[in-house]
Amino acid sequence: MSKLKIAVQKSGRLHDDSMKILKEIGISVDNGKDQLKASARNFPLEVFYLRNGDIPQYLRDGVVDAAIIGENVLIEKGSDIAIEERLGFSKCKVSIAVPKSSEAKNLKDLEGKRIATSYPNTVNQFLIKNNIDAQLHIINGSVEIAPNIGLADGICDIVSSGSTLFKNGLKEIEVLLNSEAVLASSPKISDENKARIDKLKFRLKSVLNGRENKYVLLNAPNEKLSEITKILPGMNSPTILPLAKEGWSSLHSVINKNDFWNVIDELKVNGAEGILVCPIENMVL
């Protein structure tokens, strides 16, 4: 029986996060040290460990059916490849930076200047869109040293925490795009494997929904239920159960993590007590 072939980055943070989410959606992979591919025990799937920059071509040629890959790499090398699902991890920016001593403060100040980058297609399209004429120097790796050795006036590279820019005396002056890990599929994927991708997407959405929300349990006097239920809508409405203590009830609901502390503060003001907060492993909608 054929298997779904999915590519992940060979090493690094994206590799670790990719393998973690595969485990969370129930895919058990027997991957030994230095293997180029490994099979899952409980799903018709093979994982291929590849260089990140090579993955778009493997997708395009149909060598692999799908990949967990940085969106920035697809924009640079695989803009024709379909994104199936955004995964919310390995977030970064593709940014232009210059030495802190530089007088350049924005993109216009780079007119006629030299920019070192590993993302020539992305940068070139951005410069054309903004009517900036600059010279590109294509470098694979260690882009941030280019201004210090006189090779370029600025750089364009991925930025996560910003610590690499800081260490190399650089300052960010323009963000070209924001990126995160995505699940992408090959244009040559078979109908059988497309159905398997749909199963993975269902599982992924359940895990991602769980990461975005918290499960909350609290106690409240019955006379406060009306106000509290307005604060806690839940997915449809809160679950309300009577407590052994007369005149009190227990409410169960879900809070988006971005609204969490504001909601908790409002609950306490409106009489909620004994508030318990639990992580959600999976949330199937």
Over the stretch 49-93, which tens digit does the pLDDT of each residue have?
999 899 999 999 999 999 999 999 999 998 899 999 999 999 999
- 182's tokens: 């995505």
Q: What CATH class has 213-279?
A: alpha beta
Instruction: Check pLDDT > 70 for residue 3.
Output: yes
The predicted pLDDT at position 191 comes to: 95
Which part of the chain is CATH 3.40.190.10?
A: 4-89+180-210, 92-179
Q: What pTM value is reported for the model?
A: 0.86
Q: Would you state the CATH architecture of domain 4-89+180-210?
A: 3-Layer(aba) Sandwich (3.40)
Q: How far apart are CA 100 and CA 217, in angstroms?
A: 50
Share of the chain above pLDDT 90, in %: 76
| The total number of residues written for the chain in this structure | 285
* Tens of pLDDT, residues 4-30: 999 999 988 899 999 999 999 999 887
The predicted pLDDT at position 206 comes to: 95
Residue with tokens 């059916």: 65
- 277's tokens: 């907060």
Cβ within 8 Å of residue 238, ≥6 positions away: 228, 229, 232, 251, 252, 253
Which part of the chain is CATH 3.30.70.120?
A: 213-279
* Tens of pLDDT, residues 231-249: 886 667 788 999 999 999 9
The predicted pLDDT at position 35 comes to: 80
* Tens of pLDDT, residues 135-165: 999 988 789 999 988 899 999 999 988 888 9
The predicted pLDDT at position 32 comes to: 61
Q: Please provide the average confidence, as pLDDT, over all residues in the chain.
A: 92
Q: How far apart are CA 78 and CA 73, in angstroms?
A: 7
Tell me what the mean pLDDT of segment 200-215 comes to.
94
Instruction: Check pLDDT > 90 for residue 275.
Output: yes
Fold classified for 92-179:
D-Maltodextrin-Binding Protein; domain 2 (3.40.190)
- 221's tokens: 């006097």
Q: How far does Cα 60 stand from its chain's mean position?
A: 22
The predicted pLDDT at position 94 comes to: 95
Task: Report residue 33's pLDDT band, with 50, 70 and 90 as the boundaries.
Answer: low
Adjacent-strand bridge partners of 182: 69, 86
* Tens of pLDDT, residues 247-261: 999 999 999 988 889
